[in-house]
Chains A and B, each alone.
Chain A
Amino acid sequence: AQSVTQLDSHVSVSEGTPVLLRCNYSSSYSPSLFWYVQHPNKGLQLLLKYTSAATLVKGINGFEAEFKKSETSFHLTKPSAHMSDAAEYFCVVSANNFNKFYFGSGTKLNVKP
């Protein structure tokens, strides 16, 4: 079975400081992992994905995530937060057939000026 746990429902950072959004997964198969961002009243946008290639994945808008099998984690990071990063972020796992996706409950990122 597959599942995702996003460890923080809300994260607040100051503009210009690092961002860390935590995600742990459970998967019976070699997982594929994704991070999506959802701005208010907008659809979900794919930030980055891990599909068994390099364990450090770079995405759009300066975000990156590292797949750590030993820790079953796929945390999302960004060196310096921008006001426009304020949104909700979802960690998603899929099984090896890529056709079924399991969403975490989301982390709302607040960026303070």
Chain B
Amino acid sequence: EAGVVQSPRYKIIEKKQPVAFWCNPISGHNTLYWYRQNLGQGPELLIRYENEEAVDDSQLPKDRFSAERLKGVDSTLKIQPAELGDSAVYLCASSLQASGQYFGPGTRLTVT
């Protein structure tokens, strides 16, 4: 079974530029999560999808962050414009009820 796929793995951009991250969850997993993990800290939830519906986006900075999950499968997380403080690892995870979350390898974003 293929795991959660994320791309790109690494991204370096200048501040004020836009950036997008892509996630393909495990087949059949209807719940998809985007997390941000700062250096030395645990993951923090940004947004959770149930199928194509965003059911928890309370921690998503909506002035610059947006996400979508068209057709309830793949998802894209966008930052526009990026700020220095956005440098972090962005993790995507998917789950199916009691199975627990399965994480992708993450995208390491560096904003210069």
Q: Hey, what's the 0/1 contact readout for B76-103 against A, CB within 8 Å counting as 1?
A: 0000000000000001010101101111
A29 part of interface (Cβ distance < 8 Å):
no
User: What separation, in Å, do the CA atoms of A98 and B103 have in the docked complex?
Assistant: 15
Which of A41, A42, A101, A105 touches B101 (beta carbons < 8 Å)? A101
B103 and A44 contact, CB distance less than 8 A: yes
- How many chain-B residues does the 8 Å CB contact rule pick out? 25
The contact size tier of chain A is 20 to 34
- B48 cross-chain contacts in A, Cβ below 8 A: 99-100
B25 part of interface (Cβ distance < 8 Å):
no
Residue of A nearest to B97 (CB): A98
Given contacts A43-B106, A49-B100, contact A90 B95 (CB under 8 A): no
B100 and A90 contact, CB distance less than 8 A: no
B residues sitting closer than 8 Å to A (CB atoms) are: 4, 31, 33, 41-45, 48, 50, 55-56, 91, 93, 95, 97-98, 100-106, 108
List, sorted by A's number, 6 A–B pairs whose CB atoms are closer than 8 Å.
Answer: A34-B100, A43-B104, A43-B105, A46-B100, A92-B101, A103-B44
